[in-house]
Structure 1
Amino acid sequence: MKVRYTFFIIALVAMLALAACATPTAAPQPTAAPAQATAAPAGKPFRIAVVMPSAANDLAFSQSMIDALGELQKEMGKDKLEFVYSENMFNVTDAATAIRDYATKGYDLILAHGSQYGASVQDIAPDFPNTAFAWGTAVDTFKEKGVNNVFAYTVASDQGGYVEGVIGAKLSKSKVLGALGPIPAGDGQLTIKGFEAGAQATDPNVKVQTTFTNSFSDVALMSQAAQTQIASGADVLTGTSQSVVGAVSVAKDKGALWFGNQSDQASLAPEIVVASQVYDWTVALKDMMAKINGGTRGGEVFIMTFANKGLVMVYNPAYKLPDDVKALADKTVAGLADGSIQTGIK
C-alpha cells in the first residue's frame, strides 16, 4: 500500500489503474448548501484518509477528490486539516485492507472513493463505531442495516452533461455528437443521458451516438471508440473515466471538439477542450466535517448539484467560445440551479 502525505501540483494524467464510480442511474435530488468546515475539537487537526481506485493525477474521478481536499486544506490551513491517500486501489481486497488500516490509526473520516468499495465499508464500519466513513458515488448509508457511521455522496452529473449537450449542439457542424463511457451505470451514464437530453432540447435534429467500452482503464478501447464515433460523423465528443485520455488524443488528431467531466481536462488538449463539468467535493466534505464535529458520524447522503455548487462548469480559456453560445450555457446552468430547467433524467 502506497500512502502519500500531500496535495499535489496536478500533472498530466496517468494512463493506468482501474476505477469505478457506478451508482444508481436515477438523477439524484439536490443537497442543501454546505456548512462551514471546522477543525477537530481541542485544537487538533481534522484527519482524513482516502482510498481511491486510480491515480491521484488521473484528471478524472480520483483527482477530483484530491483537488477538493487540497483546496480545503489551503482554506483551513495544514494545522487544521491533514489528509493522506492510497491511490491505484483497483483491487477491492487491497482497498479493504487500506480502509481498515486507516481506521485502526484513528482518522476522523475515511473516504472510500469508489462505489466498488461499498461492501467493504459496510463490513468494516461497525468495527469502528467512533470513526466516520463515507463512500461514493453512492446513495446508501447502510443505516437501514444498522450501520450508523457511514455517509454517502454522489453527483447529479446529468446537469453538467445537459449543459455540455446544449453547447455541443450549437457548435457541431455535422449535427452528430458522440458520448463515450466505461459502463452504462452511475454518474457516467447520468452524464451521457444528460448530454443527449441537452443536445436534443437545443436541436432536435442532432444525433447523439453512445458507446460503452466496459472498462474504466483501457485507453486503447476508448481510443477505438472515439475513432469509430468520428468515422460515423461525430465532430463533438464527451466521455467519462480516466481512460478518456485515449479519446481526447484521437479527437485532437481528427479535429473534433471535447467536453471533459469529473475534473478539468483542458490541459489534455487546450485547442479542442471546450469546457469541463467539474466535481467540487469540498461541498460534501465541509458538511461531513461539520456534522462529525457535532457528533454525527453517518446516516446522511450528500448530492452535488449546480444549486449547491458541488457541480461547476469550467470553461477552457484557450478555446474561444462564441459569446451567444456562452450566454446560452450560462443561462442553462442558472436554470438548472433554480429548477426552471429540468434534464428530464429519472
Structure 2
Amino acid sequence: MQTMTHENKPGNNRWIATLAGACLAAVALVADAQQPLKVAFVYIGPVGDGGWTYQHDLGRQALEKSLGAKVKTIHVENVPETADAERVIRQLAAGGNDMIFTTSFGYMEPTLKVAKLFPKVHFEHATGYKSAANAVSYEARFYEGAYLLGVIAGKMTKTNTLGFIGSFPIPEVIRNIDAYTLGARSVNPKIKTKVIWVDTWYDPGKERQAAETLIAQGADMLCQNTDSPAAVQVAEEKGVHAFGWDSDMSKYGPHAHLTANTENWGVYYIDEINKQLAGTWTGNRNTRWGIKEGLVVLSPLNPSVPADVVKLFEERKKAIIDGTLLPFAGPLKDNTGAVKVEAGKALLDEQLLSIKWYVEGVDGSIPK
C-alpha cells in the first residue's frame, strides 16, 4: 500500500498553489508600484523660445528633479492649435501616459475630446476654463503681475504712452492688457496704452515689427503677451524700457529690461503629480494660482528702478498677496466711458475668464 506523505497530500497542494499565487500577485503589485508615473507635456512653441514654452519646460524639469524615479516625463514641442493638437494628444494617451498636460489655450477642445476617449488617463489643460471627470484646467493669475508691471511703467514713463504687443484677442490676453493699464493709471492717470495684435504666440519677426511701431507711436515702455524676447531686444536698441514676459528676459536687454512677469509652473506640477501618486487626484477642477501661491513670480528689478518706485512696487505686491488689493476692483470704466464695475465691487473669476473689453486708458477697439 502506498503511503501518502505530507508533501503530496491534495489539500496541501492546493494550499501551496494558493500561497504561490498570492506571492506572485504581491510581487506583481510591488513591481507595478515601482513603475514610474508616465507624464507627457504638449507645448505650443519651441523649448528654446525664451518665454512661455521655456518656462513650462523648466516646470517639467523641476518635477523630475523633485520626484526622481517616481516619474518619467516626455514633451512634444511646436504643436499648433489645429487638428494636429488632437492627433498629438491622442497619440500620447494611447502611448500609455498616465497624465497629459496641454499647455496652451487653443488645446482646450482637443484635450476634452481626447479625454472622453481615454477615461483612465488624467488630463490637465493650461489657461482654459472647461473641465471633465478626468480633466482639469489650471492657470496663473498673471494679471496680478501685469498690474505690478503697470505700476512701474506708470511711474517711470516720460511720454505717458505705453505699448503692448498682444498675441490673440482672447480673455487671457485682454485682462493682462487691462491689468497693465490699471496698474499704470493707478499712479499716473494720464497714461494711454497702445496695443498691436500680431495673431501669433511666437514669431520674433512680427514681435520686432510691432515693438518698433509702438516706439514710433511714442511708447517708451513695452510690454507683451507673446513668447519671444524680441520686444526687449528692440527696447535695448532704441533706448526705451521693456518688461519680460513668462521668463526673465534681462539677458536680452540688460538696460531696457526692468523686470519680468514670470511663472514657476514647477510648484503646480509637483503638487498635481503628488496628488496622482497619493491617489487623491480628482477631475472637474479649475485651479488659479497667483503671486500668493508662488506661481506668478516677478523677476529681480533692474538696479535702475528708483528707490521710491521699488518701495511702491513692494507695497502693492504685498497688498495683492494679503488680498487688500484686487486689480479689477471698482469703480471701473471701459474705454468708451461705460461703467463696468461699481465702487465697492470687483470682477469675479467668471467675469475675468470672459472679459472682452478694454479698460479706460487703452486706445482702440478689440479685433473681432
**Normalised by the size of structure 1, how large is the TM-score?**
0.81
Say which SS state the counterpart of residue 271 (structure 2) adopts.
Answer: helix
- Contact 1:49 1:110 (C-alpha < 8 Å) held by counterparts: yes
CA distance in 1, matches of 2:89, 2:202: 22
Aligned residue among 17, 24, 46 for 1:55: 46
Are 2:126 and 1:136 equivalent residues in the alignment?
A: yes
Which residue of the partner structure matches residue 259 of structure 1?
243
CA deviation after TM superposition for structure 1 residue 297, in Å: 4.4
Q: Which residue of 2 aligns with 1:296?
A: 281
Give the corresponding residue for 2:111: 121
Query: What is the match of residue 87 of structure 2?
Result: 97
How many residues matched? Answer: 299
* Contact 1:280/1:312, CA 8 A, preserved across alignment: yes
Where does structure 1 differ by over 6 angstroms across 4 or more consecutive aligned residues? none
CA displacement at 1:41 relative to structure 2: 8.1
* Shift, 1:217, TM fit: 3.0
Contact map agreement 2:51 2:229 (CA 8 A) in 1: no
CA distance in 2, matches of 1:320, 1:44: 51
How is 1:175-190 mapped onto 2 (pairs within 5 angstroms)? 175-190=160-175
2:72 is paired with a residue whose SS is strand
Retained in 1: the 8 A contact 2:229–2:244? no
Checking the alignment, whether the CA contact within 8 Å between 1:155 and 1:187 is kept in structure 2 is: no
Contact residue 281 and residue 304 of structure 1 kept, 8 A: no
Q: State the TM-score, normalized to the length of structure 2.
A: 0.76
List per-residue Cα deviations over 1:281-320 (Å, max 9, x = no partner): 2232233223323243421111121121111111255x43
The answer (yes or no) to whether the contact 1:156–1:187 under 8 Å persists in 2 is no
- Segment of structure 1 superposing worse, 186-195 or 107-116: 186-195
Percent identity for Structure 1 against Structure 2: 26
SS of 2:165's equivalent in the other structure is strand
The 5-angstrom pairing of residues 8-157 of structure 1 reads: 42-77=33-68, 79-90=69-80, 92-141=82-131, 143=132, 148-157=133-142
Q: CA RMSD in A?
A: 2.0
Structure 2 residue aligned with 1:4: none
Q: In the TM superposition, what whole-angstrom CA distance separates every residue of 1:206-240 from its partner, at most 9, and x where no partner exists?
A: 22222222232333332222222112221111102
2: CA distance between counterparts of 1:155 and 1:97?
27
Residue 307 (structure 2) pairs with residue 323 (structure 1): yes
Distance in structure 1 (CA, Å) of the matches to 2:294 and 2:170: 23
3-state SS of 1:315 partner: coil
Structure 2 residue runs without a partner (length 5+)? 1-30, 329-346, 353-368
Offset of 1:324 from its aligned partner?
A: 2.0
Conservation of the 8 A alpha-carbon contact between 2:263 and 2:295: yes
Per-residue CA shift, 1:164-200, capped at 9, x if unaligned? 0001111212222111111221432222111100000
More relative contact order in 1 or in 2 (CA 8 Å, sep 6+)? 1
Q: How far off is 1:101 after superposition? A: 1.6
Q: Does 1:339 align with 2:323?
A: yes
Match of 1:276 in 2: 260
SS in 2 for 1:258: strand
Aligned-residue offset at 1:67: 0.8
Contact 1:240–1:260 under 8 Å retained in 2: no
TM-superposed deviation, 1:256: 1.0
The 3-state SS of whatever aligns with 1:202 is coil
Give me the whole-angstrom Cα distance separating, in 2, the residues matched to 1:91 and 1:342: 32
Q: For residues 186 and 267 of structure 1, do their structure 2 counterparts lie closer, same or farther at Cα, with a shift above 3 Å needed? A: farther
In structure 2, distance between residues paired with 1:337 and 1:295: 28
Q: Which runs of no fewer than 5 residues in structure 1 stay unpaired?
A: 1-39
Q: 1:91 to 1:238 in 2, by over 3 A?
A: closer
- 2:205 aligned partner: 220
Q: Name the stretch that deviates more: 112-121 or 213-222.
A: 213-222
C-alpha distance in 2 between matches for 1:192 and 1:103: 36
**Structure 2 partner of 1:5:** none
Contact 1:257 1:272 in 2 (8 A): yes
Q: 1:254, 1:133 → 2: CA distance? A: 44
Give me the whole-angstrom Cα distance separating, in 1, the residues matched to 2:70 and 2:211.
44
Distance 2:84 2:49 in 1: 20
Computing the radius of gyration from Cα coordinates, the structure with the larger value is 2
Q: Tell me if the contact between 1:157 and 1:194 (Cα under 8 Å) persists in the aligned partners.
A: no
Shift in alpha-carbon separation, 1:188–1:265, aligned structure 2, 3 A: farther
Shift of 1:262: 1.4
